[in-house]
Amino acid sequence: MMEEKKGEYKILFVCLGNICRSPSAEAVMKKLVQDAGLDGRIKIDSAGIIGYHAGEKADPRMRSHAARRGYKLDSVSRPVCTEDFFDFDLIIGMDNRNIDDLKRKAPDLESVEKIHQMTEYSQNKLYDHVPDPYYSGAEGFELVLDLLEDACAGLLDELVQFIGSDCHGSKRRVTRIGDAYAYVSKKFGCQAADEIF
Ligand code: 4NP
């Protein structure tokens, strides 16, 4: 869920350790956002459910696979904190366990509504989560990147519907960025959407 507003959208990607999946999501999304010329409008960060790897760079295997696709993973692992739930508009977990843990950590109901799963934005609906690659071989890291490239493109697509429109003055809350309001406003304009909803 996301609060429609002027200014920046802030997205936090979350996985268990913040050394494989969420730093990769951060890098993939940053590149897409930059390529779309939206880096002034969308801010991206990542964090982990656990602080076990806090202060570490991303896993060298993940960095190496990502580098082959042109992504530089330069984030430093940190655990999710309460402030994140107030600070970010969207908090995106990689698997069901991340989602359950995030919901347990959320300080209020509004924060819970910000929590979504990465594969909700997938265009190729082959996986319902981004599998943990930590104990996998090379194919696990490649799969993470495949899934993230697909889902981040879907996420950007949804974000652009608002960011590229004139709807930013509206105070209306959207239940999900690709919901019926977004569909109608994209197809018929914000005024039509506001009249209907
Ligand atoms: P990530 O992968 O959640 O994608 O960063 C993992 C990293 C570390 C561990 C597990 C998964 N670990 O058990 O330390």
192 closest CA partner among 160, 164, 173, 170: 170
* pLDDT (mean) for 155-184: 55
Cα 29 to Cα 34: distance, rounded to the nearest angstrom: 8
* Catalytic residue status for 176: no
* pLDDT (mean) for 157-165: 78
Q: Is 33 a pocket residue for ligand 1 (Cβ < 6 Å)?
A: no
Q: What is the mean pLDDT of the chain?
A: 86
* pLDDT (mean) for 102-109: 98
Q: Would the pLDDT of 192 be above 60?
A: no
Q: Is 58 a pocket residue for ligand 1 (Cβ < 6 Å)?
A: no
* Catalytic residue status for 21: yes
The catalytically annotated residue of 20, 132, 150, 152 is 132
Q: Which two tokens stand for residue 123?
A: 């265009």
Q: Would the pLDDT of 161 be above 90?
A: no
127 closest CA partner among 157, 152, 95, 101: 95
**DSSP tag of 169:** G
* Ligand 1 site-directed mutation target among 13, 14, 18, 20, most atoms within 8 Å of CB: 20
* pLDDT confidence band for 172 (50 / 70 / 90): very low
Alpha-helix runs per DSSP H in the chain: 21-35, 60-68, 82-87, 96-105, 109-113, 138-163, 180-188, 190-196
Q: Would the pLDDT of 168 be above 50?
A: no
Residue 125's pLDDT is 85
Assessment of whether the complete model's pTM goes beyond 0.85 = no
* pLDDT (mean) for 70-78: 97
The catalytically annotated residue of 15, 152, 167, 190 is 15
For the chain, percent of residues with pLDDT exceeding 70: 80
Q: Which two tokens stand for residue 163?
A: 């960011």
* pLDDT (mean) for 38-43: 93
